[in-house]
Amino acid sequence: MTTTLFKQAEEKNRTALLKQQIINLCIQGGGTSISELSKALMVSVPTVTKFLGELIDEGFVYDFGKQENAGGRQPNIYGLNPHAGYFIGVELRKKTVQMAAINFKAQVVANREEPYLVSEDSMESIDRLCGVIRSFIARQKLPAEKILAIGVSISGRVNPESGYSYSYFFVEEQPLVQLLEERLGHRVYIENDTRAATYGEYMSGVGNNEKTMLYINASWGLGLGMILDGKLFYGKSGFSGEYGHFPMFDNEVICRCGKRGCLETGVSGSAVHRIFLERLAQGRISMLSDKFRSGAALSLDDILDAVLKEDVLAIEIMESVGHKLGKALAGLINMFNPELIVLGGTLATTRDYLMLPVKSAINKYSLRMVSKDTQIKFSRLGENAGVVGACLLARGKSLHLL
Ligand SMILES: [Zn+2]
């Protein structure tokens, strides 16, 4: 009796696994035929036909019929049903929350930014955030049962396994995931912002099936996301990628983490901002000098804008920061031998002003034999990388594809 039950359970797991694999192959390939699926999964054609039939009945897969091709035989092509379900992505930013929805095929069907500020009182902040998410969902007029999961991207320390976020919304008694699920009535996954952006670029951005990809989030801070052997790398507790706090410089600058000389103190938007203000205070001239003298606050965006308007001081600082970033990346290249490094975050909006010094320093400091394999590209999704990544993570995790 026990053996029979065990066998039944095993069969159930095998069925679920095969269906997940079929969905995964449809995600990777777009459209696929029964014989391609049979070959890729190493199972018989009748078995594939049976499970494909079930997935079609369940509404996850479409039969697109016979497609024209060069050869004589025209197999039926199967692919994901875009309307099988929707996934919501939420990214918390400094003063706003960005929300997007994708369909089952990962096409973005909505993308919207709303004002939102995290206040000190965590529970009040969580309630308010859920209100903003609920009204976004209501506006899309998507049936509740079609929303399969919500992914939330948050900066700082996030443990996706335990569901706790430590830098924002930390409530000791209950994991954030549970608090959100109770209020939203949907399955919720949380993720660190850089890792969400990494996954977004990997699945729907500049990534092109590379097995090893590093994503650099050069914004106010400096984050690193890693795809190693085709999978997001988390580390034991989901805290991997705290590259900005790599002890690098022998300087006297206190990092926001409380330590001294972190990489972020020389390579990040906050470093660009601090150095720019220091230079102005020392009497250097810039197109922002008047604003500085007037006592008005200068933002990082003001400085990045000045770079694009060819302000010499702003360009000099960006070059110097880019050079240090390239040197730091040379270390990562020597360590990981990556196929692709993606430059993302707000500093990447300065394009060649960042890319050229980065490449020059990589050439100078990395081992040529290792770095010749590495392509350096800008993020394709730009400021949407995080929110699209949060949607895709919700899809990947709820379908057990990750
Ligand atoms: Zn630090």
CA 285 to chain centre: 38
244 CA to middle of ligand 1, Å? Answer: 6
**Are 160 and 149 a contacting pair, CB within 8 Å?**
no
Q: Residue holding tokens 């720019």? A: 276
For ligand 1, a single-atom ion, the residues with CB < 5 A are 245, 255, 257, 259, 262
Q: Which amino acid is at 73?
A: R
Tokens of 252: 């006297």
291 by DSSP, 3-state: which?
A: helix
215 CA to middle of ligand 1, Å? Answer: 19
Give the sign of the dihedral formed by CA 221, CA 226, CA 232, CA 236: negative
DSSP labels, 341-397: EEEESGGGGGTHHHHHHHHHHHHHHS-HHHHTT-EEEE-SSGGGHHHHHHHHHHHHH
Q: pLDDT tens-digit profile of 53-111?
A: 999 998 899 888 887 666 666 888 898 999 999 999 999 988 899 999 999 999 999 99
221 CA to middle of ligand 1, Å? Answer: 9
Under 8 Å CB-to-CB from 245, ≥6 apart: which residues? 255, 257, 259, 262, 263, 264
pLDDT at 6: 66
255 CA to middle of ligand 1, Å? Answer: 5
pLDDT at 169: 85
Q: Where are the domains of the chain?
A: 2-80, 84-199+386-398, 209-379
Under 8 Å CB-to-CB from 184, ≥6 apart: which residues? 130, 133, 134, 150
**Are 194 and 243 a contacting pair, CB within 8 Å?**
no
340 CA to middle of ligand 1, Å? Answer: 26
Question: Which carries the bigger pLDDT value, residue 163 or residue 371?
Answer: 163
Q: pLDDT tens-digit profile of 200-227?
A: 999 999 999 899 999 999 999 999 999 9
Rounded Cα distance, 310 and 44, in Å: 63
Rounded Cα distance, 147 and 110, in Å: 13
262 CA to middle of ligand 1, Å? Answer: 5
119 CA to middle of ligand 1, Å? Answer: 23
CA 280 to chain centre: 35
Question: Which carries the bigger pLDDT value, residue 292 or residue 173?
Answer: 292
Rounded Cα distance, 304 and 318, in Å: 9
47 burial via Cβ count (<10 Å: 0-12, 13-18, 19+): middle
CA 118 to chain centre: 21
CA 135 to chain centre: 24
Using CA atoms, how far residue 70 sits from 37, 67, 74, 75, 398, in Å, is: 20, 10, 9, 12, 38
2-80 is a CATH 1.10.10.10 domain = yes
The helices-and-strands tally (H runs, E runs) of the chain is 13, 15
248 CA to middle of ligand 1, Å? Answer: 10
261 CA to middle of ligand 1, Å? Answer: 7
What CATH architecture applies to the domain 209-379? Answer: 2-Layer Sandwich (3.30)
222 CA to middle of ligand 1, Å? Answer: 10
Q: Residue holding tokens 């994991």? A: 175
Rounded Cα distance, 101 and 394, in Å: 10
Whether the pLDDT of residue 2 is over 60: the answer is no
Whether the pLDDT of residue 16 is over 90: the answer is no
Fold equal for 2-80 and 209-379? no
84-199+386-398 is a CATH 3.40.190.10 domain = no
282 CA to middle of ligand 1, Å? Answer: 26
Q: pLDDT tens-digit profile of 94-103?
A: 889 999 999 9
265 CA to middle of ligand 1, Å? Answer: 7
40 CA to middle of ligand 1, Å? Answer: 45
323 CA to middle of ligand 1, Å? Answer: 20
Percent of the chain with pLDDT over 90: 71
The helix or strand, by DSSP H or E, that contains position 193, with its residue range, turns out to be: helix 193-204
